[in-house]
Structure 1
Amino acid sequence: MLKKLKILFLSVLAIGLSSFLLYVYMDEVLPKGEQGEAADKLADQMLSAIGDEAWQRTGAISWAYEDRTYVWDKKRHFTKVVYEGREVLIDINDRVGYVVANGEELAEADQKALCEKAWRYWCNDSFWLNPISKIFDSGTQRRLVNWQGEEALLVTYTSGGATPGDSYLWLLDENNRPKSWKMWVSIIPVGGLKFSWDSWETLETGVQISTHHFNPLRTIRIHEPVAAFHLNQLTNRDIFALLLSDTSQLVNY
């Protein structure tokens, strides 16, 4: 027993020491930059490089992220999130939702929890889908940064989403299309974690989406993105009718 406890203690100590050394080695200080016209110009060039005008014309988009699937009606700002065997419809603007329970009785508290979880999933997963078109959103700050001799764009979100205060440093290729970003976010204790932005696909509406984000610790993939000008090009019916027809069934989340 003592031998097993000793082995367990040494294992925990080794993991803790490795984590500490990894943190010390990888952690980076948030870089400084200059706000103003030059930063905004680079942001505009980045938007142009990924076809932001086409994104603005995109009315609906579907995709998969890990074990979750989405249909997002961008025009009405509704989304369907399917996760853990459940289908959740949410009105992102008004923060109300509906859980398709397939005949199962769900307490209101359970429905609220499921809608809240779906909303948090949507915030994260839609951000990985296309955060570039959000760099001029209300509450954002843009700074031009000299990163290893090249111009880079630091975007800080002071409000909105599930984790306001996060910052992202965009590193661009010769055409001003993102090739990677470095993250300073509240949910990750290590600053400057880098993910690639590659495997770009041009979708049906003309917008470009990066579907592969490599990091040695974790790789994130966007699966089967399909864009359309109208929701009815993705679905044969209005899948969000429940959000409009019987508001008494909706719960605030």
Structure 2
Amino acid sequence: MKRTSLASLILFCLMIISSSYSSAEINFDPKLKINSSKDYSKEIFSKDYNAALKMHKKIAGSFIGASIDFQVGYGTTSANVSEKSNSNTVNTESKGGFQFGALLNLNLFNILNFTTGLDFTKKNFGITVPYANPLTTGDSLVQDLNNSYLNIPLNINYSTMVSDNVGISFTGGPYFGILLNAENAVSGFKDFDFGLNGTLTGKYYLNPFVAVILGTKAQYGGLNNLLSSSSVEKLSTVNWGGFTGISVGF
């Protein structure tokens, strides 16, 4: 009797378990459904690529955080002169000249953007220098200075993207200029220029690593005093210019 009751109880439990399993199988509705026919790899790759590309553009438009800006432009130079107390007035005249360069933009340790390179600038201006000979009647000597400088900037660079294809950057810092003229029209003019410069550049990306650039820049030269003579106490220069060109990332 006990064996029959035990067997009946076991059979009843098995029937309940079987019924519950069948019901769960019929009503099974998982929250996560995977469509095995769809390939998600392209979407994942595209998303990751676009995110990485945006970051590369912010750094310098390249894979290793470096790019070169090839520039060609035109600028005007004005001279600021301080005369000596016992001399006549020294007048200056602004003039223009071409400029071109190749500037390297580097990202250092994902912390600092740095710009350097070679910048060729024509700094032309006219200057009226009084004769030093006391026997003269006060006449002046007019000279046109056509100075060619090879500048090496050491700039900090800040860049950002304003849209998917348009970026903007500002660079600024000191520069060192080497006068390339064999001779100068004014005696005593120094062959080395130390100054400050700043550049504002807009970039339109044709593809991830090539961009058309358009910008403006300014140089304040003569922190080391470019000229000291019998009539001139100090001379400095201000050069303003615009440029265009191509930026290539690598």
Greater helix content: 1
Q: Which structure's relative contact order is higher, taking Cα pairs within 8 Å and 6+ residues apart?
A: 1
Structure 1-normalised TM-score? 0.28
Q: What TM-score does the superposition give when structure 2 sets the normalisation length?
A: 0.28
Q: Which has the larger Rg?
A: 2
